[in-house]
Amino acid sequence: MRKITAILLLAAMLLSMAACGNADTTEENTADTSTVQAEAAPETEETRQKHQVPEVDFEGANFHILYPTWQGYQFYFFADEENGDAMNDAIFTRTLRVEEYLNVDITQQDSGGPQPDQINQVAPAVKKAVTAGDDVYDMTLLHCISAVSELVTTGMLYNLDTLPYIDMQADWWNRTQMDVLRLGKNTYFGISDYMIPCPYAIFFNKDMIEDNGMANPYDLVYEGTWTMDTMIDMAVEITRDLNGDGQHTEDADIYGMSAPEVSKYASFLIGCNQFITSRDDAGRIMLDFNTEKTYSIVETMYKAANNPGTIFLPAAEPEINQFDFDSGRLLFRLDTIANAVLFREYESDIGILPYPKFDEEQENYVSMDWGGLMCVPAVIQEPDMVGAVLELLAYESGDTVIPAYYDVLLAGKLSRDEDSRRMIDILFDTIAYEVGCNYFGFTNGINNYLFALNQLVISSKSTDFASYYAKNEKTAVTAIEKVYKELEKIEG
C-alpha cells in the first residue's frame, strides 16, 4: 500500500488518466503532502513487488463474503459479469484472476433487510455462524462503526496475523493503520488495496471563487495555507442575503457551506489532526480530546455557525442532492469523495479539496476514512484458502480496481483538471483512522465528542466545550474500560 502512488502513475500512462496513492498515513509516517510530488517515478511490471502466493489448487472451494449494502460496497467491490463499464469490468477481472490462480469460487451476499438497517445485520449473522461453528462466511465487510468493538470483544473474529500467505509488510497492505485499529495483541481488521477508502472531501464552486476575487484554494493547499480558519473566513465572506429580506433560503441566497448529514463536520477534527483518542504508555486507547486545539476548532466553527446563512442545514432526512450545488449559490459542499461523480456534468466548475489543516504549522493534511472494515469470522475451516484469497484480492486491486476507481472519480470535467488529480492524491495518501470512532462511534459519550461540532456549535450555537466535555467524560471513559475488560477475557 505504501507504493500505490507509483503503481497508479503507471496506470495513468496505460489509461491516460490520473493516478494516486493510498499510503501509510499517521502524521509521523506520511510524506509531506503540503507540496505534492506530481512526478513520481512509476513502477513497471518488472519493478513492482510480486506477491508470494504459490499456485495452490483449492479444488473449486467457495470463498463467501458477507457485506452490508452500504457505502462503496454497493458499487465498487463486486461484479458478476462484464458489462462494458470500466469499474465493473476491473472488479470482474480482479475476481477472475484470483479464482483462476487458486481454483476457487468467490461469491457474496448482502446482509439483508432494508437500508440503512443492513449495517446492523452483519454482526448477528456472524455471531450466529460462529456460535454454531458454521464456516459459511470466509470474509466479512463491516460498516466503519456498527458492531466493530462488539465482534472483537465477543471473540467472533479471527486473528489475521496467523493467516498463511499474507505478507502484512507488502505494499498492498497498510500495516501502520492496522496497528492504529489494534486494541490488544491481535489484528482483527485488514486494510489493504482491496478496501477502497472513503474519505470525505471539500467540493467547491470554482466559478464563485473567481467571480468574487477570492484566493484559489488549490494554491492554498500547495502552499500549506489551506487551514480551517481560512476556509471558514471564505465561507463567511461569501454569505449574502441577496433579496434583503433578512431571511436565508435555499432558492434565493448565497451560502458558505453545506453537508448532506452531520458526519461530514466531524472530519474537520481529524483534518486538523485532533483525534478523540490516543494511546497511553501501555498502548491502550484513552481519551485525548480535551485540548487547547479542540477549543480553538470549536471557536473557529462558531464563526460560521453564528453568522446567519453561512451554513445551510438540510432537513432531518435529506436527499443526497439536498442543495442545488450547480446553482452558483453554495461555495463549499462537504461530501464523500465517491460523490465526485455527481458533479462532473454540472454547468458550474467544481473542484475538490482535502479537509483543511489546523494551522500552517501542521505538517500534513489528514483525511479520515469513513469506509468499512474487513475481517474474518473466527470459525473458518480453511485458513490457507482464506489467507491466499485475501492476499491476492489485495494484490490484484492495485493493477485493476484502483486505477479504474480513479478513472470514475476523474471523469468529465475533472479529467481535464490537473489540480483535481493532485487533490485526490492528497486525499488517498493521507488516509487515517480514528480508533475512537471505529470502536465507540455509536457509544454515548464518545459519539457526542465525535459530533461535537454539529451538536454543540452548529445546532446549539455554543462554544462551551468545557461543560460539554465534562458532561460526556464519565460515559466515554466507562465505555473504553468496558471494552478492555471484555477483550482481556478473549485474549487472556
Q: What does each C-alpha distance from 239 to 13, 249, 260, 332 come to in angstroms? A: 42, 12, 19, 11
Taking Cα atoms as reference points, which of 362, 235, 243, 373 lies closest to residue 303?
A: 235
The second-level CATH assignment, the architecture, of 200-368+434-491 is 3-Layer(aba) Sandwich (3.40)
Mean pLDDT by 10 residues, the chain (492 residues): 39 30 34 32 59 95 93 87 94 97 96 80 94 97 92 96 96 92 93 93 95 97 98 96 76 86 93 96 94 98 94 61 76 90 83 96 95 95 98 95 87 76 92 92 90 95 97 95 93 83
DSSP 129-176: HHHTT----SEEEE-SSTTHHHHHHTT-B--GGG-TT--TTSTTB-HH
Q: Which residues contact 336 (CB under 8 A, 6 or more apart)?
A: 71, 198, 199, 200, 201, 370
The structural domains of the chain, with segments of one domain joined by +, span: 4-197+371-415, 200-368+434-491
What is the structure's pLDDT at 18?
Answer: 29
Lookup: cell for 291: 485540548
Q: Which residues contact 57 (CB under 8 A, 6 or more apart)?
A: 102, 103
Give me the phi and psi of 139, to 5 degrees please.
-150, 145
4-197+371-415 shares its CATH topology with 200-368+434-491 = yes
Q: Which residues are bridge partners to 431 per DSSP?
A: 367
pTM for this structure?
Answer: 0.86
Q: What does each C-alpha distance from 364 to 171, 177, 200, 265, 429 come to in angstroms? A: 21, 16, 16, 19, 10
Q: Which residues contact 274 (CB under 8 A, 6 or more apart)?
A: 289, 291, 293, 294, 297, 358
What is the structure's pLDDT at 397?
Answer: 95
Helix axes 4-15, 418-429, angle to 10 degrees: 150
Q: Which residues are bridge partners to 258 per DSSP?
A: 312, 333
Taking Cα atoms as reference points, which of 263, 257, 269 lies closest to residue 303?
A: 257
What is the structure's pLDDT at 46?
Answer: 54
What is the structure's pLDDT at 173?
Answer: 95
Taking Cα atoms as reference points, which of 306, 268, 295, 279 lies closest to residue 469?
A: 295
What is the structure's pLDDT at 325?
Answer: 83
What is the structure's pLDDT at 328?
Answer: 87
Lookup: cell for 157: 473474529
The enclosing H or E element of 263 equals helix 263-271
What is the structure's pLDDT at 415?
Answer: 66
What is the structure's pLDDT at 15?
Answer: 29
What is the structure's pLDDT at 361?
Answer: 97
Bridging pattern class, strands 330-336 and 200-205: antiparallel
Task: Report the distance separating Cα 463 and Cα 482, nearest Å.
Answer: 30
Contact 248, 222 (CB under 8 A): no
Taking Cα atoms as reference points, which of 101, 126, 108, 94 lies closest to residue 62?
A: 108
Instruction: CATH number for 4-197+371-415: choose from 3.40.190.10, 3.40.50.300, 3.40.50.1970, 3.40.50.10440.
Output: 3.40.190.10
Q: What burial class does residue 297 get, using C-beta atoms within 10 Å of its C-beta: 0-12 exposed, 13-18 middle, 19+ buried?
A: buried
Contact 430, 33 (CB under 8 A): yes
The enclosing H or E element of 268 equals helix 263-271
